[in-house]
Homo-oligomer: A and B are copies of this chain.
């Protein structure tokens, strides 16, 4: 028998609850504030946008939140996502590190996003909602929500960041195959969109404003967010819970380091929070590393402050690492990492020193992606490539130090709809990776709202 490389779980070993890290944190994260009064927001402030179950999950301090049976049924179609020992890549690197990849690309929409799209659609359906609006950057979130809405016979309307819409028609088609409708953002359908000239490359912040604006106007519609908020991060914790168990199956006593990419923060949080629980409650010392692009360096060069989640200032104020809510990142290919802020919960644990943050250049990430693809046969999303590049650094540094760590990498999705970016990389034509100057950064941060 050959050595096992892929680790699954038995049907009765699947997570049946989501894990809420707030219950185990040494200090509570700062609350979101009302954009006008600067008072902590209550459930009522959110009810125009979200159904009550999701609002309850947003603010709960319970450690475990049960996953509804109907959602578990959908998860069972594609979960547990495989944990793969990347032996061929290890061989190519010549490393003694043992590298495990938690691969979310086998999910219906090709990324971790389905994990939260399904419960969000489900709870909205329970509340009689017939239409969901949302934004999408790289397109993975829009795809996931379109599929989830198809499951529950709901309409799905997606504002796709202009740059992504223009360069990736396949992504739009995929959303349409799943029954969704796609608009280029900024659009002329909303006041938030009309504030920008036609052909503007857009940003996640603008697209969020547009989707929020329309949802607030329609009684039968709600808004769904693909990252950032607590309930979204909560849903993603199935990733890390599975990985912890799968590592056991692989005969490992936990991980030495866990690496994930971070755009809004949900993929990272889903992977690392269950490992963070080991650090907080079992005395483990697993290093947890968040990787962001150096052209959108929210955690490594931004400020930890209250800011809006969107460009138009329609969302509550959240305490988070931010580059300023009107910051428009350069059009790098990892569209999912182009967000001015970072999930408040992720920001909090980074600020508390529980999680490290690093920033990497686009070129290094694509190089790691191609090397990984040739070894393992999986073409990673440009976003996930950031995690791979950091894992590569960790492995080579460990070899130099003479250690042989267990490295877990979050491979949040496939890059099959991003082959245009790979083509540019192979031809030496990668663009979009312009470093933020100190002056630009100061100017952007000067627009932060003043909060006591």
Residues of chain A at the chain B interface (Cβ within 8 Å): 1-6, 8, 11-12, 69, 72-74, 76-78, 84, 87-88, 106-110, 114, 147, 150-151, 169-170, 173-174, 176-179, 370, 373-379, 414, 416-417, 419-420, 422-423, 426
Rank and list the top 8 A-B pairs by shortest CB-CB distance, nearest first. A108-B377, A150-B374, A173-B419, A170-B419, A173-B423, A416-B416, A2-B72, A4-B11
CB-nearest residue of chain B to A366: B177
Beyond A2-B69, A77-B376, whether A422 also contacts B8 by CB under 8 A is: no
Q: Is B173 in contact with A426, judged by CB distance below 8 angstroms?
A: yes
In the complex, A106→B104 CA distance in Å? 11
A-B contact pairs, 24 of them (CB 8 A): A1-B11, A2-B11, A2-B69, A2-B73, A2-B76, A5-B73, A6-B78, A77-B84, A77-B87, A106-B106, A108-B377, A147-B374, A151-B375, A170-B170, A170-B416, A170-B419, A173-B419, A173-B420, A173-B422, A176-B422, A176-B426, A177-B422, A177-B426, A414-B416
Contacts of A87 in B (CB 8 A): 73, 77
In the complex, A114→B177 CA distance in Å? 27
Partner of A77, one of B374, B377, B422: B377
CB-nearest residue of chain B to A169: B423
In the complex, A173→B12 CA distance in Å? 41
In the complex, A114→B378 CA distance in Å? 12
Distance in angstroms from A99 CB to nearest chain B CB is 13
- Best-surrounded residue of A77, A109, A378 (most CB of chain B within 10 A): A77
Contacts of A378 in B (CB 8 A): 108
Beyond A147-B374, A151-B88, A179-B374, whether A174 also contacts B4 by CB under 8 A is: no
Q: Quick one: copies of this chain in the complex?
A: 2
Beyond A8-B8, A420-B170, whether A178 also contacts B374 by CB under 8 A is: yes
Q: Is A379 in contact with B177, judged by CB distance below 8 angstroms?
A: yes
Contacts of A147 in B (CB 8 A): 374, 377
Q: Is B374 in contact with A76, judged by CB distance below 8 angstroms?
A: no
Distance in angstroms from A181 CB to nearest chain B CB is 12
Contacts of A414 in B (CB 8 A): 416
Partner of A108, one of B8, B170, B376: B376
Partner of A377, one of B3, B84, B114, B377: B114
In the complex, A420→B84 CA distance in Å? 31
In the complex, A73→B2 CA distance in Å? 6
